[in-house]
């Protein structure tokens, strides 16, 4: 997805309420990022509602860093990014 003129991969997750708080989001995110690291080179964005503290914690836990807040499609999001370096992408 191009964002601010740069190609970026958008990444997100959503869990059913009864599955939250059990580490599933972190586990699944790590697995998907492992695949991304083997096939993708560039920046990955996580766009998270500012009220969703749990998802912000997951993003930081797996290596995303806060970048900025921005309005995306009419919604205020906190943008976290993770760069997949050239030497890790295959």
Sign of the CA dihedral 30, 35, 38, 44? negative
Phi-psi region for residue 61, left (φ > 0), alpha (ψ -120 to 50) or beta?
A: alpha
pTM of the model: 0.81
Could you tell me if residue 90 is inside a domain? Answer: no
**Cβ distance 11 to 43 under 8 Å?**
no
> pLDDT tens for residues 5-24?
887 888 778 888 898 889 89
Instruction: State the CATH number of the domain containing residue 55.
Output: 3.40.630.30
Could you tell me if residue 42 is inside a domain? Answer: yes
> pLDDT tens for residues 58-80?
999 999 999 999 998 899 999 99
Report the alpha-carbon distance of residue 68 to residue 48 in Å, rounded: 11
Mean pLDDT (the chain) is 87
pLDDT of residue 10: 82
Pairing of strands 65-72, 42-48: unpaired
The domain total for the chain is 1
Could you tell me if residue 89 is inside a domain? Answer: no
**Cβ distance 15 to 54 under 8 Å?**
no
Could you tell me if residue 62 is inside a domain? Answer: yes
Which domain covers residue 40, as residue numbers?
2-13+21-84
């Amino acid at each position: 997805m191009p964002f601010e003129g740069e190609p970026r991969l958008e990444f997100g997750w959503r869990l059913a309420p009864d599955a939250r708080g059990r580490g599933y989001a972190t586990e699944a995110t790590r697995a998907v990022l492992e695949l991304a690291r083997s096939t993708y080179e560039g920046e990955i964005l996580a766009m998270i509602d500012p009220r969703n503290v749990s998802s912000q914690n997951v993003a930081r836990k797996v290596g995303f860093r806060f970048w900025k807040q921005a309005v995306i499609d009419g919604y205020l999001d906190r943008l976290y990014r993770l760069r997949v370096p050239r030497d890790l992408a295959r």
